[in-house]
Every structure is written in structure tokens, then in C-alpha cells.
């Protein structure tokens, strides 16, 4: 699934995956930056808490965004696929300057939103300039190929990751979250080894990738982002590895970037600041 085509003269919106556990009270720089690019006090934020099983998740973010100065922040209670056909929800997304997807279980997002009018509308509106952020499960759901689950560990193995179709806002990246905290290097490497086309983004907690139009990425937050670039992969044993076997990958580039760091997808270059 490729990103929606932009049929207007406007620039595509940002895609902002967050590694989870973002700071919400003392110095919420990630959420502050999201609010800023969405229009500040004039922003209109649609909050999608579908991934969460907690009833108050959406309302808590609604209160948080209002505390950050936004007058128009609204929870869209998309609990079923039928809800994702609601004209009220679609109208609000049409008027929104930003969408925020909460954490939880990314399969709840993909099975509920996938292929629905709401998913199609988010893709189209992002192409037209609306910004889309997601934390934890909401981050994993953003790209064409979604990491649905997997095992911890640093060495890739054929059965270490489960992939599923994602929202399709980008086909340039595969995204994993809670990266350093949950030792997820191996499963992101496994996902990339299946088809070394995309670039891997491993997001630490309280860390976000602000991906500008053109797939240029900037790091914001207190942790780091691991960038895995398989474009120069010269050898992989994935095709002959059996279940549980370690996989050899030679020629993979890995970058660790902290706040202010940048990565350009076209040139595959990383910059410290």
C-alpha cells in the first residue's frame, strides 16, 4: 500500500511516530512540537484511542491537549468497523489539522481501521497536509508494513517478528517502538531482512521521529532513535535459516541519533545535528 497521491498543490503533512511513554507533564516537548506544527491554539486534533483497552485513554489525551492550549481536541470513539464509517468522524477528520493515535495494541488499530473510510480519509488528508502522530502502537501502525508482534533479543531469527499491513502513510520505513527499553533490535532486523527495501526506525521511549514531506527525519525527545539502513546489504542467510536459527546479515548500516539528529531518505545520510 503506497501513500495516497496528493491531488492538490499543498505539501504533504508530517508523519510523527513516537516510541511510547512520551513526557506529558513537566516538559512535553514532543506533544508541544506536534501542537505547534498543527497550528498552535488554532489546531484541531482528532484523537483515536482504538488501540487502547482503557476507557479513559482518549479523554486523558483530550484533557492534555487542551492543557497545552488547543481549543479543539476531540476523541473519535472508533471501537468497531461500523464506527469507522461514521459521517461525523469523517467530517471531523476533514476539518482536522492533526490526528493523534494512542498506544495499546496495534492489531486493534489494523483490524478495526484497516481498509475503512476512516483509514482512507486519514491517508488522503495526510497527503493534503494534515499531520499524523502516533505513540507506541499508533507509531507501529503508520507505515505500509506494520510490526504486529515479536520476540525480544538482538540477533535476528526467522520467527522473531510478525508483520501485517499497516495504515500506509509511508512505504519508506518500518517502525518499532519501546526500542531500547524492550530489546527489539533483532525483530526490526528480521523485519528488514525479509525484504531489504525499507529503512528501519527503532524509537526509544519519549522519543519521536518528525518525518517531514520527502521522508526527511528529525529526532525530538529525551532518548535515541536507531536507524537501520539495509540498502547496502551484501549477504543474508534468511532464505536458508530454519525456525529459531540466528540469521547472518552483512553490510547493514546502523545509526544512533539523539535530539537534533537528522536522516535523509533520498541520500541515506545521517547527520548529528
Comparing CA positions, the residue from 194, 198, 218 lying closest to residue 208 is 218
110 is catalytic: no
26 is a catalytic site residue: no
The active-site residue out of 4, 136, 172, 236 is 136
Locate 149 and state its grid cell. 508482534
Distance CA 62, CA 73 (A): 6
Return the axis-axis angle of helices 117-128 and 87-95, rounded to nearest 10°. 10
Whether 205 sits among the annotated catalytic residues: the reply is yes
Q: Active-site residue among 157, 178, 218, 236?
A: 178
Give the active site residue among 22, 62, 144, 205: 205
Q: Which positions are catalytic?
A: 136, 178, 205
Amino acid at each position: 500500500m503506497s501513500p495516497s497521491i496528493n491531488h492538490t498543490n499543498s505539501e504533504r503533512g508530517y508523519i510523527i511516530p513516537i516510541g511510547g511513554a512520551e513526557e506529558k507533564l513537566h516538559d512535553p516537548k514532543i506533544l508541544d512540537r506536534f501542537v505547534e506544527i498543527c497550528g498552535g491554539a488554532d489546531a484541531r486534533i482528532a484523537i483515536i484511542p482504538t488501540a487502547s483497552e482503557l476507557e479513559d485513554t482518549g479523554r486523558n489525551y483530550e484533557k492534555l491537549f487542551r492543557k497545552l492550549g488547543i481549543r479543539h481536541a476531540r476523541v473519535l470513539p472508533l471501537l468497531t468497523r461500523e464506527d469507522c464509517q461514521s459521517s461525523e468522524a469523517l467530517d471531523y477528520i476533514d476539518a482536522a489539522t492533526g490526528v493523534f493515535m494512542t498506544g495499546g495494541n496495534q492489531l486493534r488499530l489494523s483490524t478495526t481501521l484497516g481498509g475503512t473510510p476512516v483509514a482512507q480519509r486519514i491517508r488522503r488528508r495526510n497527503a493534503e497536509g494534515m499531520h499524523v502522530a502516533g505513540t507506541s502502537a499508533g507509531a507501529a501502525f503508520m507505515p505500509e508494513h506494520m510490526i504486529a508482534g515479536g520476540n525480544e533479543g538482538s540477533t535476528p531469527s526467522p520467527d522473531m517478528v510478525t508483520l501485517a499491513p499497516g495504515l500506509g502513510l509511508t512505504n519508506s520505513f518500518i517502525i518499532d517502538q519501546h526500542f531500547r527499553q524492550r530489546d527489539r533490535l533483532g525483530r526490526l532486523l528480521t523485519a528488514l531482512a525479509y525484504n531489504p527495501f525499507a529503512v528501519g526506525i527503532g524509537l526509544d521511549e519519549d522519543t519521536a521521529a518528525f518525518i517531514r514531506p520527502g521522508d526527511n527525519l528529525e529526532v525530538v525527545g529525551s532518548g535515541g532513535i536507531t536507524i537501520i539502513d539495509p540498502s547496502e546489504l551484501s549477504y543474508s542467510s534468511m532464505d536458508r535459516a530454519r525456525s529459531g536459527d540466528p540469521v547472518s546479515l552483512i553490510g547493514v548500516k546502523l545509526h544512533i541519533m539523539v535530539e537534533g539528529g537528522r536522516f535523509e531518505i533520498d541520500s541515506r545520510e545521517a547527520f548529528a545535528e
